[in-house]
Structure 1
Amino acid sequence: MTQADFKDYRTYLIPLLVAVFTAFALWIRILPALHLGSADILNLVSSDDPIYNLRLVELMLNNFPNYPWFDPMTYFPTGTHIFWGPLFTTVIATLCMLTGAHTRPAIIFIALLVPPLMAAVMVPVTYKIGEVLGNWKTGLFAAAFISVVSGQYFYRSLFGYSDHHIAEVLFSTIFCLAYIYVVRYTRTHTVDPADRSTLKVPALLSVAAGIAYFLGLMAMPTMILFAMLVGIFTVVQFMVDVHRKHETFSLLLVNAVTFGVAIVCFLIFGVKSSGFGFAAYTLGHPLAYLMLIVMTAVLYLLAQRLHLKEVYYYPLALAGIAVVGGLILFLALPQIYGELIGNLLGFFGQNYMSTTIQEARGWSVESAWSTFHFGLLLMLLGFGVLLYRCWSEHRPEHLFVLIWSAVILFATIQHLRYEYYLAVNIAVVGGLAASTFLERGWRDMILLLGITGKKTDKPAPATDAGTGSSKKQKKAPVKAKHVPSSARINAGNLAIFVVIVVASLLFAYFSLFLVDLNNDGTSDFLPAYTTANSYTVSMNGDWREALEWMNARTPATGMDMKKIYSSQNFTYPEQAYGVMSWWDYGHLITFLAERMPNANPFQEGVAGPTGAAAYFMATNESDADKILDTLKTRFVVTDIEMDVTKFLAMSTWYNSTAMATPYQLTMLAPTSSGSGSYQTTTINKQQYYMTMIARLHTLDGSMTDPTTAYYIEYRDAAAAKTSYPVITRAESQNATEARKNADAYNLRAAAGMHAMVGNPNTFVPAEQVTALQHYRLVHESPSNGAQSLMGAQEGIPDIKYVKVFEYVKGAHIKGDGVIEVPVVTNTGRTYTYRQQSVNGEFIVPYATSGNPYEVKTTGPYRIIGTGQSFDVTESAIQIGATVA
């Protein structure tokens, strides 16, 4: 095909390719729906924020077009203010009404379909950014890359993860497209403040950019990050323009109109929260946009004032204004200054809690490579291209994309959650690199392959110079033409051509398919096709079973799940109560159980003296009880993960300095007897078994005596010059003997040496654990949670995955010694609840008659060794009566 031929077909081929990439992006994301079969679609819904978004959709459908800015059905007894905008919810609710989806399965289907549809729209949007940044080739590469990129971007746009993240990416990208389009337009068309006809088109384009910005803001308040990007770009672009003696009015026009529109739209939309923070819809937003416009005006006026001065005057003046302006803001408006600094740290800083929240963790090199791999190489090359073109071509769109990509990259390094933003920059900047270097090496590849698209014209017959008559000539043999030096193959261009082709193909392949980079049998990242094709069930079945039981079998709260409540003068009904669990499960409790969690995945109700962390880390029951009394909590829901894998997170939220150290020690143990190599192992101290989470979930609230424990001698980390203490001796002994031996050893231990009693077995205490007096098991899920976590090993106890406890006053029984009662659970598991008397009294939580739950006693209470037995009624348990 000749070059002319291709140009004829390009009008059709480019849209066709973009359509193919778009269809592919949609298809790969709806694979879970294609594999659903007859299964319940609710099983596909992720159990944190997506399940809560379904609640918002149902609320809006029942109250359309009103949006629930306040929700009392979570973070009890306070209620929560919704901090993200209504755009994503409104899109889903509108589609539900247009398609007639009114049953829960139909609503869920539409809600789960919207993120893949938005990801599909991202393909042509990304193509257009690439085209504006480079050319149609850049656009095609960008469109291809965004259709296959994996990691957080893919996961959060997959059928099953219905959350506003993909809406944030889509509308922020649309804004960036609109903004770079208008700034490019103003550099290729005259913008003269004295000629109104030159202002019309850029003003209209800026209005479109302002509307795009506002739509992004309606998805999430963090859209202000892109206003900050514009601010950084504006300062740098003004310095470039002043240095090059270029007009600066166009940028003032663009920013004033764009963010003037954003201010007007925001004020029409209305302020939803008090204060000036940017994490919610406060007055801080329009004030920030106004400050951006004022800053641009100051930059313009300063440029006009200093246009005849030396070039270094301008940056020096800017630095002085920045320092003075910051000082004035600090002194005159300290609240706004604090919010600005606080939000900057929130975007780009880290705190101790970041390690306990997966999406807030920092981005390691390994994590970055496992997600984007060869896309990072292409992006790095793209940065080089952008820098070169900024230097040589002075195009503002290149500078904006460079700043946009650099800021998002830095934000992602600080917080993993911004991976879904960075995917766009990987695609666009990587696409620019691919198209640039392929164009550079294309001619050399053509020469190497001997391909040409031009036909050689036959030589004209020779003519007689004198007569002009034609003379017949013998056809001369064709000789090989000498290739001029200008047409010789450039080995460097050819090499980079091959590298780009290979890197692009590997990026696409690794993004789509599972590749074990470390050859260790584990997945190193989330490949798109593999993830989508195996994404069959997302919701934990045990949690669903337990919470659906709670919905049906526990007392009503007096709240209406379908009603939108106003925070103004709101009070809970008298029968309302809370459910204590770890924050991960708060939205499940709201949606499935229709009950009100004390903590939720917004990290509300987690920290502080009455937070979930303080409750589950409490080693004294009375301290835990005070928390539940304060929060009006009636039920506690635990799971095996809280007891084992999430224990570090809970202890970190409780005490960020000590973390799990008071409860567990990480130690180095020899891999075998006499070995010089070590492996880490976790030893549980007695304090671990005394925490509420261990006493509830592992021990069912019953008194538990130890059988065996480990006597451990160890050298502390400082003496051993290692990261962790080193175990020098470990021996399983009778628990009482182990304690005696440890105490004796520590009396005569050498410097740096110690002895302790502990247990690597999470489910066996090292010493006696006293009973809980006010907690009774009322339901447990069917699966063996210990086996789910640790596999089918010999000796794994039958500890169910999810357990529901009721917090009760408990009946009082006079007596001394140990009292016990046999219990059978709803799953058929049996155990004996035992309790040691305190001051001649027992406070028991289980009723032997009138119990409304499936977990029941199978006999009376008996005081061991006395022959005394007692029947306890349900009313005695609930009112705290004394049983004779």
Structure 2
Amino acid sequence: MDLKDISKYRVPLTVLFLLLCSLAALWIRLIPADGLVSAAGVDLLGNDPWYNLRQVEATIQQFPAYGWYDPMTLFPRGSTIYWGSLFVQIIAFAGVLTGAATRPEIMYVACWIPPLMGTAMVPILYWIGKKAGNTATGLAAAALAAIVSGQYLYRSLFGFVDHHIAEVLFSTLFCGAYIATIVYCKDHPVDFTNRESLFAPVGLAAVTGVAYLLGLFVMPTMILFALIVAVYTGIQFLWDVYHDRPLHDLLLINVTVFAIAAVGMALFGIRHAGIGLSLYSIGHIYAYGAVIGGTVLLYVLAGVMKGRPAWMYPLTLAGLAVVGAGFLMVAAPDAYSVLVGNFISFFGEESVTLTVQEARPWSFDSAWLTFQWGLLLMAAGMAILVWKNIREDHPDQLFVLVWSLVILISTIRHVRYEYYLAVNLTLLSAICIGFAAQMAWPDIAARLAPSPAPAPERRESRKKGGSRSEGAPKKHAAAQGAPVGLLAFAGVLLVTIVFAASSISIDLATAEGAKYSGITPDWEEALLWMADNTPDTGVDYYAIYDRDTFAYPDGAYGVMSWWDYGHWITFVAQRIPNANPFQQGVAGPDGAAAFFVRDSEARASQTLDLLGTRYVVTDIEMDLITSKFWAMATWFDSTRGVSPYQLDLLNPITAEGRYELISLYTAAYYPTMISRLHNFDGSMVEPEEVYYIEYEQSAGASAPIIRDVEILAPDAARDAVLAFNAGASAGSHAGVYGPLPTTPVETVPALQHYRLVHESPTNVMSDGGPDLKYVKVFEYVPGATIAGEGIIEVDVVTDTGRSFTYRQQSINGTFTVPYATTGSPYGVITTGPYRISGTDRTFEVSEEAVMQGARLS
């Protein structure tokens, strides 16, 4: 079978290839299901998917209504939802269609949607690749779309029920439709005097506008693609004016697309006040009007300046841009401030955003770890597009280039856009592969083509002794000389194979690892306990509320924890967190960060009073300076961060000069609210031994180097510190530090209004260490007041069987105690009355006295 025979089966072979690529993409994305699915439901990945499932449950109950305001998070204000309804409604529709009624059934159906959307990217990228390149480009794009790794893969895995993959799907669909439209208009020029020439372009542009709306209804960041179109339009107009080419097509396309976008946005509804483009505000309609107006201006100005030197057109545009910006600054300063603010917010960064993983800048190390040799293919694809567009006009490829550059810049500023960039990397890599294949095809075809049989007369001449060379068939012209195209293709193919192999390896490792990446078992256990053992909030979990008319019922309350856990609290416990993973309720003097890092119980309790908080949930990750405590400290004070609470030192481990970096706890750490709650259960703690450490700063060292360590009694250690520092040389210091969060260096006072009511079963400390549980739940109570002097104590047994003694030093002749000795509704109980140490005085404290703040004699 020769190449002509194979070409007869091109369509079925292409369909088969796309089917195989799609199945591979789906199979990879379904791998986590094996470890995540259970009778209780699906152990979702990450944080936000839990909230999306909460929205899905409410939407199914009220289908197709969508809650734009949710009182089940961010107590006592509730949260306005800033992303669109389409992704949730698609899942809810799938749930209704399949008859999913129970929570496990809904979770299972929902988890299929991201993998299916990720799979749909295979034929879409084939289509775009073929439009922007050739068939080989399309096939390469389809193959790479199935295996490209990174956030793009992770956010389309089974179990990651979030809108990110829907953003990618519909934005890519929009870009593909826009490319198809400009390609059609290039081949079928628009003529405003010929109505028949307008029908197809208008129809294609209308479809493109609908595709834009689908992306917009998922997330308002779809506005980024309007920016891409605006940048492309400006560049294309400059190119067309310079080469004196018709300009009607872009005018028709942009006016149609963004008129539909503006009308669709108006029908969708203005959900948020102001003109911010990160929300569903009227600013979007203004922006689409600006794209239309800008395109009309470019078109009219080109007509006015026709026949004049080409350089005058960009110069005039630059002048108009400066004048326009100045006019906007004076005539509409609010709008100007919003535009500048949006730009700075998008491309800038703050220290607190560095605590949010997806808001961090994209480093080269991270990029290489994710895409490796794909970065080389992407760069080569960009270079090819630049080279081809310098030589001749390819508006579709110019759009791909602008699209890719804007997304690349966005990703460099904020790593969250990496899942968008995977599409561009795939497409540009495919363009590189397709270009190399096209260069090599003449050589490949020449080598695959069968040699023609010698002509009869040539064979006869040989019998007569003719020259053998006369009868030899001539080689294809492309096969003569050095096969440069074939060598180039071989090089590209080698890089592609390495890229594909590394991507598949990363894909499989990511998918396998995701089997065990759901909610922490201790958190799930604690929140299920909370659902069963704490008062109902009085808010209907499944109802959809209007912000303007909603009021929290009496008895509603908040749950304070770090923002990472807010959605778990909402979904699993069906309680209302004071902070959530939208970074709401985190910052400010009464945010979650301030509450947990403060060392004043009185000030921390003011925060809970203001926020209506009844329960506080802590975990070991919030507790450790090397984990989430770092983020809390940075949110609390972005200038100092974790430095007041942590000292990093180099500890010598060999005589040859090898060191290990260790992190020690300073005296400032132990009185923080998170430490007093999680480490000491709110009890007073006095140190028995502390680490006295001498260290010095050495030139070239990444941290000070430990010179001496002693374990001393607290008073002796403090005296030693004073003596050493009084006569220390420059760069040498001594201090008292703790190696563990449970080893204070000074007396830590008791908390008067916080009692442990539940703890999870897992001890996070190694054998021989203290019994410190992974998750703890505390209740904030008024506390009963007892008159007395000295130290009051009561023995407590937790619901896991752990025993500890709650101790408190009197203040001004009174104690305020949080634990009841009789009538406690929780599994954490006291085993006897309170007693004042060193005396025979004992006290029984009822639950009623604790909850009403009674004063006992």
TM bucket, shorter chain: over 0.9
What is the letter of the counterpart of residue 566 of structure 2? G
Question: 1:533 aligns to what?
Answer: 512
Instruction: Report the Cα offset of residue 489 of structure 1.
Output: 4.8
Indicate if the aligned counterparts of 1:778 and 1:853 stay in contact, CA closer than 8 A: yes
Question: 2:424 aligns to what?
Answer: 425
Residues in 2 aligned to 1:488 and 1:546: alpha-carbon distance in whole angstroms = 75
Matches within 5 A, 1:772-791: 772-784=751-763, 786-787=764-765
Question: 1:835 aligns to what?
Answer: 808
1:594 aligned residue (571, 574, 578): 574
What is the letter of the counterpart of residue 582 of structure 1? W
Question: 1:295 aligns to what?
Answer: 294
Question: 2:628 aligns to what?
Answer: 646
What is the letter of the counterpart of residue 459 of structure 1? A
Residues in 1 aligned to 2:468 and 2:828: alpha-carbon distance in whole angstroms = 98
Question: 1:140 aligns to what?
Answer: 139
Indicate if the aligned counterparts of 2:144 and 2:500 stay in contact, CA closer than 8 A: yes
Indicate if the aligned counterparts of 1:77 and 1:598 stay in contact, CA closer than 8 A: yes
Instruction: Report the Cα offset of residue 481 of structure 1.
Output: 5.8
Residues in 1 aligned to 2:245 and 2:718: alpha-carbon distance in whole angstroms = 81
What is the letter of the counterpart of residue 199 of structure 1? L
Question: 1:790 aligns to what?
Answer: none
- 1:724 aligned to 2:703? yes
Residues in 2 aligned to 1:478 and 1:104: alpha-carbon distance in whole angstroms = 82
Indicate if the aligned counterparts of 1:704 and 1:771 stay in contact, CA closer than 8 A: yes
Indicate if the aligned counterparts of 1:636 and 1:807 stay in contact, CA closer than 8 A: yes
Residues in 2 aligned to 1:548 and 1:493: alpha-carbon distance in whole angstroms = 64
What is the letter of the counterpart of residue 390 of structure 1? N
Question: 1:545 aligns to what?
Answer: 525
Instruction: Report the Cα offset of residue 33 of structure 1.
Output: 2.3
Indicate if the aligned counterparts of 2:36 and 2:159 stay in contact, CA closer than 8 A: no
- 1:874 aligned to 2:847? yes
Question: 2:691 aligns to what?
Answer: 710
Indicate if the aligned counterparts of 1:819 and 1:836 stay in contact, CA closer than 8 A: yes
What is the letter of the counterpart of residue 183 of structure 1? I
**How many residue pairs are counted as aligned between the two chains?**
852
Residues in 2 aligned to 1:418 and 1:475: alpha-carbon distance in whole angstroms = 74
Indicate if the aligned counterparts of 1:47 and 1:585 stay in contact, CA closer than 8 A: no
- 1:68 aligned to 2:67? yes
Residues in 1 aligned to 2:674 and 2:267: alpha-carbon distance in whole angstroms = 48
Question: 1:12 aligns to what?
Answer: 12
- Per-residue CA deviation, residues 170-199 of structure 1 (Å, 9 max, x unaligned), is 000000001111111111112112222211
Instruction: Report the Cα offset of residue 722 of structure 1.
Output: 4.4
Instruction: Report the Cα offset of residue 411 of structure 1.
Output: 1.0
2:833 aligned residue (860, 867, 879): 860
- Per-residue CA deviation, residues 776-829 of structure 1 (Å, 9 max, x unaligned), is 000001111x24xxxxx4533221110000000111111111111111111111
Change (3 A) 1:667 1:460: same
SS in 1 for 2:615: strand
Indicate if the aligned counterparts of 1:444 and 1:489 stay in contact, CA closer than 8 A: no
Root-mean-square deviation (CA, aligned residues, Å) is: 1.9
- 1:453 aligned to 2:434? no
1:693 aligned residue (669, 674, 677): 674
Instruction: Report the Cα offset of residue 486 of structure 1.
Output: 5.2
- Per-residue CA deviation, residues 609-628 of structure 1 (Å, 9 max, x unaligned), is 11000000010111100000
Matches within 5 A, 1:404-553: 404-444=403-443, 451-461=447-457, 479=469, 487-490=479-482, 492-513=484-505, 527-537=506-516, 538-553=518-533
2:639 aligned residue (646, 657, 676): 657
Residues in 2 aligned to 1:476 and 1:112: alpha-carbon distance in whole angstroms = 76
- Single out whichever of 750-759 and 578-587 deviates more from structure 2: 750-759
- Per-residue CA deviation, residues 427-486 of structure 1 (Å, 9 max, x unaligned), is 111001011113323444566xxx3323404414489xxxxxx99965968656675875
What is the letter of the counterpart of residue 702 of structure 1? S
Residues in 2 aligned to 1:47 and 1:540: alpha-carbon distance in whole angstroms = 10
Normalized against structure 1, the TM-score is what? 0.94
Which runs of 5 or more residues in structure 1 are unaligned? 464-469, 514-526, 788-792
What is the letter of the counterpart of residue 113 of structure 2? V
Indicate if the aligned counterparts of 2:452 and 2:473 stay in contact, CA closer than 8 A: no
- 1:609 aligned to 2:589? yes
Change (3 A) 1:550 1:475: farther
- 1:681 aligned to 2:662? yes
Question: 2:729 aligns to what?
Answer: 750
Indicate if the aligned counterparts of 1:276 and 1:335 stay in contact, CA closer than 8 A: no
Residues in 1 aligned to 2:572 and 2:290: alpha-carbon distance in whole angstroms = 45
Question: 2:746 aligns to what?
Answer: 767
SS in 1 for 2:94: helix
Residues in 2 aligned to 1:558 and 1:455: alpha-carbon distance in whole angstroms = 85
Indicate if the aligned counterparts of 1:146 and 1:424 stay in contact, CA closer than 8 A: yes
Residues in 2 aligned to 1:462 and 1:512: alpha-carbon distance in whole angstroms = 55
- Single out whichever of 488-497 and 767-776 deviates more from structure 2: 488-497
What is the letter of the counterpart of residue 260 of structure 2? V
Matches within 5 A, 1:382-393: 382-393=381-392
Residues in 1 aligned to 2:461 and 2:760: alpha-carbon distance in whole angstroms = 102
Instruction: Report the Cα offset of residue 679 of structure 1.
Output: 3.2
Instruction: Report the Cα offset of residue 721 of structure 1.
Output: 5.6
Normalized against structure 2, the TM-score is what? 0.97
Instruction: Report the Cα offset of residue 307 of structure 1.
Output: 2.0
Question: 1:583 aligns to what?
Answer: 563
Instruction: Report the Cα offset of residue 713 of structure 1.
Output: 2.2
SS in 2 for 1:713: strand
Change (3 A) 1:12 1:583: same
Question: 1:627 aligns to what?
Answer: 607
SS in 1 for 2:832: coil
What is the letter of the counterpart of residue 194 of structure 2? D
Residues in 2 aligned to 1:530 and 1:781: alpha-carbon distance in whole angstroms = 30
What is the letter of the counterpart of residue 792 of structure 2? I
Question: 1:368 aligns to what?
Answer: 367
- Single out whichever of 104-113 and 304-313 deviates more from structure 2: 304-313
Indicate if the aligned counterparts of 2:190 and 2:197 stay in contact, CA closer than 8 A: yes
What is the letter of the counterpart of residue 365 of structure 1? F
What is the letter of the counterpart of residue 211 of structure 1? V
Residues in 2 aligned to 1:16 and 1:761: alpha-carbon distance in whole angstroms = 60
What is the letter of the counterpart of residue 778 of structure 2? F
- Single out whichever of 305-314 and 489-498 deviates more from structure 2: 489-498
Indicate if the aligned counterparts of 2:462 and 2:468 stay in contact, CA closer than 8 A: no
- Per-residue CA deviation, residues 218-257 of structure 1 (Å, 9 max, x unaligned), is 0000000000000110111111111111111211111000
Change (3 A) 1:37 1:617: closer
